Amino acid sequence: MAVDELVFDPMASSYAVLLPDERELGVCLVDMGGGTMSIAIFIGGSMRYSNVISLAGGHVTNDIAVALRTPTKYAEAIKCKYGATLPHLVEANEHIDVPAVGERPPRNISQSKLVDVIGARYEEFFQLLLTELRRTGMLERIPAGMVLTGGASSIRGGQEMAEQLLQMPVRIGYPENVVSGLEDVINDPIYSASIGLLLYTRQLLTESVNGKILAHEQRKGIWGRIRHWLRENF
């Protein structure tokens, strides 16, 4: 398979979720996927640093599966439907039915137990990000704060926990400038990289077309001047 160009996930996502002012001032974009968290820092409009941390949403799902003793497919569904990172986001007496392994009957689990499992892992995520920013000396260079995107960023309380631990402005990055008519379908951080790739491709095509038009006009101008010179001199 021939590959003409590779696009780093957060670079793609940046086309869909970052604001021009953030790129210029200094911002850290974190694309939280299923297997990795991809980090990209933009300063002065350009990407100045990038890295990948091998922890992300899939690890949360696995934690839930182990802690609640439920198959992974159910753990993922439970995370999406009931998941949160902070205790105050759920009622202490709320319970959920959790499918068991094999033929065993479902178990009734306190939702606060689920939050404890998820919160512990997300706290690890944000502590790792903080350590990485400090290690690279970038922490003081991102006054616009952090933008979280990707499927694992939309967990309830994720933004709030990140702001508490990182002590900086944090927002969830949703795809902007999406195709008209599809806003309700793809207005989700999980689609940021995909939408970003489409926007990136559109930009390349636009630049290519504009470049060809400009080159054509320049050629017309050059030959026009040559024809004028020939008429004047011969």
User: Which structure tokens are listed for 206?
Assistant: 């636009």
| pLDDT at position 223 over 60 | no
- Mean pLDDT for 172-195 is 78
Structure confidence by residue, pLDDT tens digits, 5-36:
555 677 888 989 999 999 999 999 999 999 99
- Among candidate residues 183, 93, 165, the one with its CA nearest the CA of residue 128: 165
Q: How many CB atoms lie within 10 A of CB 81?
A: 8
What does pLDDT average to over the chain?
Answer: 86
The model's confidence at residue 103, banded by pLDDT at 50, 70 and 90, is: confident
Distance CA 162, CA 146 (A): 9
Q: Strand order in 27-32's β-sheet?
A: 46-53, 37-43, 27-32, 146-149, 170-172
- pLDDT at residue 234 in the model: 46
- Asked if residues 16 and 172 have their Cβ atoms less than 8 Å apart, the reply is no
Q: Which of 202-206, 209-213, 215-219 has the highest mean pLDDT?
A: 202-206
- Among candidate residues 124, 14, 135, 3, the one with its CA nearest the CA of residue 63: 124
Distance CA 23, CA 19 (A): 6
- Asked if residues 170 and 161 have their Cβ atoms less than 8 Å apart, the reply is no
- pLDDT at residue 83 in the model: 95
For the question of whether the overall pTM of this predicted structure is more than 0.85, the answer is no
